[in-house]
Amino acid sequence: MNQVKIFDTTLRDGEQSPGCSMNLAEKIDVARQLEILGVDIIEAGFAVSSKGDFESVKTIAQTVKNCAVASLSRALEKDIDASYEALKGAIAPRIHLFLATSPIHMKYKLRMTEAEVLERTAKMVAYAKKHCSDIEFSAEDATRSEREFLARVVEAAISNGATTVNIPDTVGYTTPMEMRELIAYLRETVPNVERAVLSLHCHDDLGMAVANSVAGVKAGAGQIECTVNGIGERAGNASLEEVVMALRTRQDFYDATTRIDTTQIYRTSKLLYNIIGQSIPNNKSIVGKNAFAHESGIHQHGVLAEKSTYEIMTPESIGIPTNTMVLGKHSGRHAFESRLLELGYQLGKEDIDKFFTKFKEICDKKKEITDSDLEAIVTNREYVENLYTLETFAVNSGNGVSASCVVRLKKQGELLEEVALGDGPIDAAYKAVDKITNAPATTLEKYAIHSTSDGKDSLGEVIVKLRYGEQIITGRGLSTDIIESSILAYLNAVNKLVSFK
């Protein structure tokens, strides 16, 4: 059986998606969860691109212990040097360099001939090999490259030390049949192909990233590059959860397996959606609310008689618990910690203390706390040290009066209070916060609210996105009071903005 490696590029290619940027603390949280999930390689960033990316790669390389950590590099010595410096602390470092091989990229972007690309590939792979034993080479836009030339580039990369050669569908142009034929062609044509793992990196511009990836596996590829929830450039990348569950569910066809702990899939997906300020679409494959829901009478009858009639996988297999333990204000720390452990959250004492305090606060406002509420409490964690914290607020609003809000914040022990008028209570509250914090001018790009569970006392989770120049900053808030959760979300974003500056 083909043991397929999962190369996760959520923190590099995924983060390049507009509105999906993360700060260092958030990236570390994702990296730790990816390690628990069981990915083989985490691509932590593009070290040479910025000081922030270098620090992210360096910190994650020092943090992760059970999988390899990679840094992307152009086929340039300075990029390779930067990647090596950032990765030195990793238990299993990988330098990942790329160079385009398609006629259109070579002519208009690189302005290089085939001979020059071949020479650069050989030279830069050999240079990287002097730094690190695990080298990956990507032939950018491989699926639009001339096959004979691509085969020569792959051979040159392997001859000079590449242990993995990636065949990217950079613009999501190819089809599953073409991908399968291409991988089969390279396996048959490249004389030293057995000395390296063939990898796939597919984009979803035509909605075929996952299909193209698993088609390549069928032809013998040994690594798939993907992202959690499929985030990434343009239409995104192959979705990790879809790739993994396709291989697992149809193991009889693909004859392939991964080392992913699938029971961690839902938790990983929800963590990332919370960090980037998005909600799981109801119809999202594998992790969406409707993925295991049945409304049609015919479907309901079939599932009640035998689940496999309409369910090809179980919710438990991806980490969605079917049982529900209800916790309340009389529940103790032990029950709280035990339930989080059952849900798969392995947290340190400091985090447990913080979340238990939040749990007790919510218990005073909400009669019963469900598993969904617990997950919301844990995933709505703070990722910056809060300069400003909410003390109190009071709103006055109605259909015949202008909305006003009085907000009191605490800053390093000092209480600060302001009042503001607005088009509604939320607008007034945000203007009052702006007065107190004197934060730089931003534009509210997104405001979204949804409930974490059923019932009129459900927790309201608010997500806001603020634009500051070219930067998008995400804030999250959680409370049974939607105005309070709205203020908390906005304040979370303002604290991030202040810390960035």
**Residue 289, token pair as written in the block:** 């609310």
The verdict on 317 and 334 lying in the same domain is no
Task: State the Cα–Cα distance between residues 228 and 232, nearest whole angstrom.
Answer: 9
The verdict on 160 and 223 lying in the same domain is yes
- Least confident range of 51-60, 68-77, 316-325, 438-447: 316-325
Give the domain-ending residue among 276, 300, 332.
Answer: 276
Domain-embedded: residue 28: yes
The verdict on 217 and 120 lying in the same domain is yes
Q: Tell me how many domains the chain contains.
A: 4
Q: Is the distance from CB of 229 to CB of 239 less than 8 angstroms?
A: yes
- pLDDT (0 to 100) of residue 388: 92
Task: State the Cα–Cα distance between residues 46 and 69, nearest whole angstrom.
Answer: 12
Single-letter amino acid code for the residue at 162: A
The verdict on 314 and 329 lying in the same domain is no
H or E element at residue 182: helix 176-189
Domain-embedded: residue 67: yes
| pLDDT 10s digits, 269-306 | 999 998 888 888 889 999 988 888 765 566 656 766 77
| pLDDT 10s digits, 391-449 | 999 999 988 888 999 999 999 889 999 999 999 999 999 999 999 999 888 899 999 99
Quote the mean pLDDT of the chain. Answer: 91
- Give CA separation, 311 vs 252, 254, 264, 317, in Å: 17, 20, 19, 12
Domain-embedded: residue 17: yes
Domain-embedded: residue 77: yes
- Give CA separation, 425 vs 73, 112, 384, 393, in Å: 48, 59, 26, 11
| pLDDT 10s digits, 353-397 | 888 888 888 887 776 777 777 877 887 776 666 789 999 999 999
Look-up: residue for tokens 């691109």?
49
Domain-embedded: residue 282: no
The verdict on 344 and 295 lying in the same domain is no
- pLDDT (0 to 100) of residue 417: 96
Residue 186's CATH number: 3.20.20.70
- Give pTM, 2 decimals: 0.83
The verdict on 14 and 143 lying in the same domain is yes
Q: Is the distance from CB of 140 to CB of 98 less than 8 angstroms?
A: yes
Domain-embedded: residue 100: yes
The verdict on 38 and 151 lying in the same domain is yes
| pLDDT 10s digits, 208-259 | 999 999 999 999 999 999 999 999 999 999 999 999 999 999 999 999 999 9
Domain-embedded: residue 229: yes
User: Which residue segment(s) compose the domain that 400 sits in?
Assistant: 388-500
The verdict on 183 and 317 lying in the same domain is no
The verdict on 82 and 131 lying in the same domain is yes
The verdict on 129 and 217 lying in the same domain is yes
The verdict on 354 and 215 lying in the same domain is no
Q: Is the distance from CB of 119 to CB of 149 less than 8 angstroms?
A: no
The verdict on 25 and 142 lying in the same domain is yes
Domain-embedded: residue 427: yes
| pLDDT 10s digits, 305-317 | 777 787 788 888 9
